Amino acid sequence: MTHQFGILRRFRFNRPQRIAAGLLAIFLLQGLWVTSRQTLTDRDYQYAQCGRETWERPALLTGYYTTCGNIRDGILAYRLAGLPLTLNVLVERGLDTFRKPEDRVFQKTSATQSPSDVSTWELRHQMTHILLLLRLPFLLAGCTLGGCLWWVTRRLYGNLGGYTALALYCFSPAVLRACLSPNTEVLASLGVYGSVYTCIGVAHAMLGPRQRWRPRIVLLTVILGVAAAAHIVALPVAALLGLALMVWVAEGHRSQALPVVVMAAVGALLLVFACYGFSPDAYSYVFRSAAGFLWFSLEPVKRFFSSMGNAGITLAAGAALMLYFGLRKSWYFGNTAPLLCAIVLFPLVMTGVPGSPWIWAIPFLLTFIGGVFADAYETPRERLALWAAGTIVALQVVLCLLSLPGMV
């Protein structure tokens, strides 16, 4: 049996995977529910127009990559927002060839009109589902991040730890809001979380045969590229956190950790260059702008943990901290690493461009909660721990559902 078919044969979709898929489906349904009650905003029009321009290459202003200027706050978000619209335009134009002239969606005004000649305002009146097309890539990115969270927590802590972390994630109003408008945060969060744990995977691979290094390093390069294309400041943040944890894990190979991360980061920058259509001017503007300026503030921490919609997660985080310091068995790498990452990421604020990097910390916080709770489930008071965790999750579910428009 070939290696590829061997991987497929090892894949299982048993009860744990079905429960996780059900939770992610509920997350997606919440997003679709809110999307059905939203209206297009000026920000949506900006992402729709400039996102389409990154794919369709209309006649642009001299010296600028799009009519939004040289994008500095995450080219990946614009490309993902514009891709479904561009594909939809191409599909509708293809179908127009089989329609009567009076029934065509796009009425040509000249023989040389191209798909990029259709303005966003015209699309608003010709495609009633434009708002869903704008939201869907970010909702799918949120589902992908939830899948990564489930994979990491289940692998580290077992089924119950994975269920706890994923349930809190799927009913987190902060995560849901980040997926319900075109923005960089959920994409950067996916890149940072995936990069950190891929770095840990590379460090573990370093303890084994060299043939296991290459595919994980390639994967690390791609995920760092996602982080950098989502927001350029996510690249150094993810690389530094990943490097620190690699040095922690890779005993006997610590001298090789820095070259591996640097090589992956260089590859990530090349991927970002490709996202800018290999335009040197637009690419260099990212480094000439203030997009990479960061500072620290406790305001995001206060805002997140004082929000009523996050009360369940706040209770879970407080309980996890008490259990972490109270249970000696919880003092190991699998719990400590996400806790340290969350502590570093929560106070980050962007001073050069609008952004909410504290959202990047949420998956790490939920990973920590899932790990510590999994340890509590294995104590003599397992039943009490399960009831307490179930109550906290149920509280978070109720608060999240009550925050959805049209539910009260």
pLDDT for residue 6 is more than 70: no
Q: For residue range 126-141, what is the model confidence (pLDDT) as tens digits?
A: 555 788 889 999 999 9
What digits encode the pLDDT tens for the residues 66-93? 877 778 778 999 999 999 888 888 887 7
Question: For 122-136, 270-284, 379-393, which range has the lowest pLDDT when averaged over its residues?
Answer: 122-136
Q: Which of 239, 228, 287, 238 lies closest to 263 in space, CA to CA?
A: 239
Beta strands in 99-206 (DSSP E): none
The encoded tokens of residue 239 equal: 């690389």
Q: Is residue 55 within 8 Å of 86, Cβ to Cβ? A: yes
Task: List the beta bridge partners of residue 66.
Answer: 69
pLDDT, residue 251, reads: 81
Structure tokens at 270: 């090349």
Amino acid at 219: L
Whether pTM > 0.85 for this model: the answer is: yes
pLDDT tier at 9 (50, 70, 90 boundaries)? low
Residue with tokens 């997009």: 291
Least confident of 14-18, 180-184, 327-331, 343-347: 327-331
Q: Other CB atoms closer than 10 Å to residue 243's CB: what's the count?
A: 19
DSSP 296: E
What is the mean pLDDT of the segment spanning 222-227? 96
The answer to whether the beta carbons of residues 224 and 192 sit under 8 Å apart is: no
At residue 1, the pLDDT reads 45
Mean of all residue pLDDT scores within the chain: 87
d(CA 216, CA 261): 12
The Cα 60–Cα 282 span in angstroms is: 13
Q: Which residues contact 43 (CB under 8 A, 6 or more apart)?
A: 181, 182
248-286: string of b/e by CB count within 10 Å (b at 16+)? bbbeebeeebeebbeebbebbbebbbebbeeeeebbebb
Q: How many residues does the chain have?
A: 408
